[in-house]
A = this chain, B = another copy of it.
Amino acid sequence: MLTKNEPAENEPKETSRLEAFSDGVFAIAITLLVLELIETLHTQTNDGLMQLFVTHWQSFLAYIIGFITILVCWINHHVALEYIKKIDTNFFWINGFLLFVVTLTPFSTAILAEYLEKESRTALAIFGFNYILISIAADSICTYACNHHLIEEKHREFYASYKIIYRYAIFYNIVAFLLCFVSITVPIILYVILFAAFAAPKAFAARLQKIKDRKKKKIKRTNHTPGK
């Protein structure tokens, strides 16, 4: 589907519109979460105002979780697209899949808010399934950008670290998802660790890069010592 037969000078413009559209989707998805919070005001108006915060604590917790999830997604999307200079039609679709999962997040958050007490495991598993989809989308973006030379050659090695962290995240999320059917606390702890790691994807990837560099040097040294 790659289109190579038309002029290339328009390509920087392409990235900016993709970013503007994606930013719009992220911004709306993160702000729509509040509608579910406002909904709680309409369902129950007989009790006192402070009582509302007590009865609907799951809505508030879900709101915070949903907000952080989409914010982490946006930060990672920002970082992943930073080095991408040109895009093609396939990339629109891979990015579109990520946006699809992002727009689903307010729905998963609403499920969390309404079923956290009644069916806590299923509700958590659905949210966990959302995370699996997010990590698959993030991995697809990085892998495609890497393999199709959408990023500048000098940044490619650093970028490969992103690819690795998102690939690992898929397996991590599958494990956390399966644990949802057995326990509640274990997957929650796993998700908190996940948040902490992907809160600063650049630093995370840079740390990984350093470890790789050190390993390489070691291998180089062990290979070269007899020769030199």
User: A residues within 8 Å of B by Cβ?
Assistant: 1-3, 5-7, 10, 13-14, 17-21, 23-39, 41-42, 45, 48-50, 67, 71, 74-75, 78, 82-83, 89-90, 92-93, 96, 99-100, 103-104, 106-107, 110-111, 114-115, 118-119, 122-123, 126, 154-155, 158, 199-203, 206, 209-210
Contact = CB atoms under 8 A, between A and B. Distances in A.
A74 B93 CA distance: 11
Interface of A is mostly: helix
A118 B45 CA distance: 10
Contacts of A92: 71, 75, 78
Nearest to A113: B41
A21 B74 contact: yes
A190 to B, nearest CB: 21
B199 A93 contact: yes
Contacts of A41: 107, 110-111, 114
29 contacts: A1-B199, A3-B206, A5-B209, A6-B158, A6-B206, A10-B83, A17-B23, A18-B78, A19-B20, A20-B20, A20-B23, A21-B26, A21-B74, A28-B32, A31-B32, A32-B35, A34-B103, A34-B104, A38-B106, A38-B110, A39-B42, A41-B107, A41-B111, A45-B114, A49-B119, A49-B126, A67-B100, A71-B92, A78-B92
Contact of A49 (B14, B37, B123): B123
A30 to B, nearest CB: 6
A26 B23 contact: no
A126 B37 CA distance: 14
Q: Indicate the member of A74, A103, A115 with the most B CB atoms within 10 Å.
A: A103
